[in-house]
Amino acid sequence: MPAYYLEAITVTIGLFLLVAEAFSTNKSKSWVGLCAILGLVAVLFLTTIAIGPEAKPGATWSSWPLWNFYQFDSLARFFKVLSLVCTILVLFLSIDYRSILARFTEGGGTESATGEFYSLPVFACAGMMWMASAKDLAGLFVSLELVTITFYILVAYMRRNVGSLEAGVKYLILGALSTGFLVYGIAWVYGATGTMNLAALPSHIGETPSSYLLFGIALVFIALGFKVGAAPMHYWIPDVYQGAPTPTTAFLSVGSKAAGFIALIRFSTPLLHSSASPQVVTLLALLASATLVVGNLAAIGQKNFKRLLAYSSISNAGFLLLALAANQNGQANALASTSIVSFYLATYLLMTVAAFFVLAAVHVATGSEEISALNGLGKRNPTLALALTVVMASLAGVPLTAGFLGKFFAFQAAVASQIWWGVGLGFVGAAAGFYYYFKPIRAMWWAAPTNPTPIAVPAITRSCVAILVAAILILGVWPQPILCLLGL
C-alpha cells in the first residue's frame, strides 16, 4: 500500500467520527473514543506494510509529483508509529477522564458536549504523521500548524473551568507568535537559498553561509523551540500544562514534543551537512544548556504534580537537544544523533503517559492534582503507587529502566562530540532530577493519607499502566524492539 494513504485514512476517520457524533443520540460519548482507537489501530497495522516509491519503482503511483513533497524512510515510519501509539493512549486516557470533561463542559454530568474531544486528537495525529514525511519547508509548516490549531481547541476545551480557558488564551497568543517567527524564518531561508526543499539546502548554501541565512535559521529555531519547550521559549508550558485537561496535557507533553522534534530533525539534518554546521551545532548546544538549567532547577520547588511534569518536559527537551547537538560537523554522528533522539522520545512516551494515567486516576478520586494528593497512595492503592514509583525512577534515570538508557545514549553522544559544558550541565540536571522526581515517591510511601478510602482504578487505566510499566522495565534491559523499528 502506498504510504500516503495513511494520512488520508486517518483524516477520513476523524471526519467520519465528527459527523457520526453530531447525528448520534447516545448519551455517552465514549463510543467515539473507542471507534477512534479501533481506526487508529488499523492505521497502525497499515503503517507496518506501507511502502514508498523506492520499494515499487514500476508502479504508476511511484512517479507521481506527490513524492517531491512526501518521503517515507525509516525515520518517517518510526515517527508515524510513535504518533499513532501516543494518540491511542491519549484516547484511552480520555475515556477514563470523561467524568471530569463532562463536569466542565456541558455541566450536570451529561457527556453531550464531549464527543469532539475524542475526534480532534485524530486530526492532530494526521498532522504529526504528515510532518514526519515532509520534504520541504512549506509542507513542514502546514502539517505543524494542523497540529497546533487542534491543540488550541483541546487546551481550552473545558470552557467551564477558568484554568482551562486561561491556558487556552496563553497557548493561542504564544502559539501565534511562534507561527510568525516560523513563517518569517522560512521566508529568510528561502530568500537566502532560493529553495524550500530540505534535501537541496546544502547545495544552495555554498562554502560560506550568508548572514541572511543564519538569521532565518535562528528564527526557525526560535519557533521550533516553542514547540519542543526549549528555554527561553518555555514560559507557556507550566501554566498551559496545569490548566489544560489531563489527556490534553499528556498529548502536549509527548505528541506535540515529538512533532516539534521531527520538524527540528528534518530542518537541521541538511544544515548539519552544509557549511552552516558549526553555527547550527552551537545554537543547538546553547538551547540544550539553557533548557537543562531552567527545566531541572525550576522543577525543584514545584508542589503541583502537573507543573512538576511540565518542568520535567522542559528538562527532557534539554537532553534531546543535547543529543541533537552532538551531531558535530554533521557527518560521523548524524545517524547516531537522530536515532538517540528517536529512542529517547519513544521511552519518554511510555513514562510520561503512564504518569498521566496515574494522575488522572488520583484526580478523579480526590479532585486534586497537587503532589499532596498522592499522600498515602501506597496504602490506598499499592499497585498504582508501585507503578508510579517505577515511572518516576525511570524519569530520574535509575539504571535498568528505559529512562536510564535514553539519558545514557544522550550523554554518550555528547561526550563523543566533546560538548563538555553540555555534559556538565546535564549531570547537574540529572542530579537535581533525583530530588524532584522522588518527591511523589516520598508522598506515596512515607506521608500519611488524608483519606484512608481505597482508590478504585478503572479497567482501562489499570491495563494501560501495567503495559506501560512492563515496557519501561523491558526496554531498560532490552532496547532492541525500538532500535529495530529505527532500522538499526
- pLDDT at res. 25: 80
- pLDDT at res. 295: 95
Average pLDDT along the chain: 92
Q: pLDDT per residue over 33-44, tens digit each? A: 999 999 999 999
| Mean pLDDT in residue range 437-451 | 93
3-state SS, the chain, equals: CECCHHHHHHHHHHHHHHHHHHHCCCCCCHHHHHHHHHHHHHHHHHHHHCECHHHCCCCHHHHCHHHHCECCCHHHHHHHHHHHHHHHHHHHHHHHCHHHHHHCCCCCCCCCCCCHHHHHHHHHHHHHHHHHCECEHHHHHHHHHHHHHHHHHHHCCCCCCHHHHHHHHHHHHHHHHHHHHHHHHHHHHHHHHCCCECCCHHHHHCCCCCHHHHHHHHHHHHHHHHHHCCCCCCCHHHHHHHHCCHHHHHHHHHHHHHHHHHHHHHHHHHHCCCCCHHHHHHHHHHHHHHHHHHHHHHHCCCCEHHHHHHHHHHHHHHHHHHHHHCCHHHCCCHHHHHHHHHHHHHHHHHHHHHHHHHHHHHHHHHCCCEHHHHCCHHHHCHHHHHHHHHHHHHHHCCCCCHHHHHHHHHHHHHHHCCCHHHHHHHHHHHHHHHHHCHHHHHHHHCCCCCCCCCCCCCHHHHHHHHHHHHHHHHHHHCCHHHHHHCCC
- pLDDT at res. 52: 86
- pLDDT greater at residue 103 or residue 471: 471
Query: What is the pTM for the complete model shown?
Result: 0.95
109-119: burial string, b at 16+ Cβ within 10 Å, e else:
eebbbbbbbbb
Q: pLDDT per residue over 252-296, tens digit each? A: 999 999 999 999 999 998 998 889 999 999 999 999 999 999 999
| Domain annotation covers residue 480 | yes
Q: Give dist(CA 152, CA 140) in Å, integer.
A: 19
Range of the domain at 437: 294-488
Residue 333 pLDDT > 80: no
| Domain annotation covers residue 464 | yes
What whole-number percentage of the chain has pLDDT above 70? 98
381-407: burial string, b at 16+ Cβ within 10 Å, e else:
beebbbbbbbbbbbbbbbeebbbbbbb
Residue 334 pLDDT > 50: no
Q: pLDDT per residue over 138-159, tens digit each? A: 999 999 999 999 999 999 999 8
- pLDDT at res. 329: 45
Residue 335 pLDDT > 60: no
Q: pLDDT per residue over 91-150, tens digit each? A: 999 999 998 999 898 876 788 888 899 999 999 999 999 999 999 999 999 999 999 999
| Domain annotation covers residue 457 | yes
**What's the sign of the alpha-carbon dihedral 180, 181, 186, 188?**
positive
| Domain annotation covers residue 76 | no
Q: pLDDT per residue over 386-435, tens digit each? A: 999 999 999 999 999 999 999 999 998 898 888 898 999 999 999 999 99
| Domain annotation covers residue 53 | no
User: How many residues comprise the chain?
Assistant: 488
Number of domains in the chain: 1
| Domain annotation covers residue 49 | no
- pLDDT at res. 165: 94
- pLDDT at res. 106: 80
| Domain annotation covers residue 165 | no
Q: pLDDT per residue over 178-228, tens digit each? A: 999 999 999 999 999 999 999 999 999 988 889 999 999 999 999 999 999
| Domain annotation covers residue 77 | no
What whole-number percentage of the chain has pLDDT above 90? 79
How sure is the predictor about 62, in pLDDT bands with cuts at 50, 70 and 90?
confident
| Cell 525512577 -> residue | 393
